[in-house]
Amino acid sequence: MATERRAEVTWQGSLMEGAGTIDRVGSGAFGPLEVTWASRAEDPAGRTSPEELIAAAHASCFSMALSHALAQAGSAPQRLSTSATVTFVPGTGITAIALDVVGRVPGLDEAGFREAAEGAKNGCPVSKALAGVPEITIAARLEGE
């Protein structure tokens, strides 16, 4: 079954002097959020940016895919902590995404966790949508009980 998700954005003025707002999203989970070129390309100053939203999309998609893969392999995670770092070069676009996950997964060794993380990195829908990013990396480790 197809799932639709929606966002609405407004921009006023030129790129450098203007400003935008992510007015609302279909779920109502956040917004309005301000965006500007300065906060995208320089100091965020409390404002999100397309690249930060991509980081959030990728980290959340990856975590869900990894929990699914671990549960299917018989070792559902107690907890996964994931960060995604998106590197943006103006004029070029997103050049790299670095995923970093720390898991608490009873009954699984490091090699098994790294293998599952690699699979989730390749398989989650956002990873497939962003497959054109030149470098997507994953670092995975287990934390002690």
SS3 (DSSP) at 45: coil
Contact between 121 and 130 (Cβ < 8 Å): no
Residue among 106, 111, 132, 145 that touches another protein (CB under 8 A): 132
Residue 35 backbone phi and psi in degrees, to 5: -135, 140
Total residues interacting with another protein, rule: CB under 8 A: 89
- Does position 71 bind another protein by CB under 8 A? yes
Q: Is the CB of 114 or the CB of 133 nearer to another protein?
A: 133
Residue among 79, 110, 135, 139 that touches another protein (CB under 8 A): 79
Q: CA–CA separation, 107 vs 119, rounded Å? A: 19
Residue among 38, 118, 123, 142 that touches another protein (CB under 8 A): 123
- Does position 137 bind another protein by CB under 8 A? no
Residue found by looking up tokens 């940016």 in the block: 49
Q: CA–CA separation, 25 vs 6, rounded Å? A: 6
- Does position 128 bind another protein by CB under 8 A? yes
- Does position 1 bind another protein by CB under 8 A? yes
- Does position 108 bind another protein by CB under 8 A? no
Q: Which stretch binds another protein (CB under 8 A): 108-116, 127-135, 136-144?
A: 127-135
- Does position 129 bind another protein by CB under 8 A? yes
SS3 (DSSP) at 62: helix
Residue 102 backbone phi and psi in degrees, to 5: -115, 125
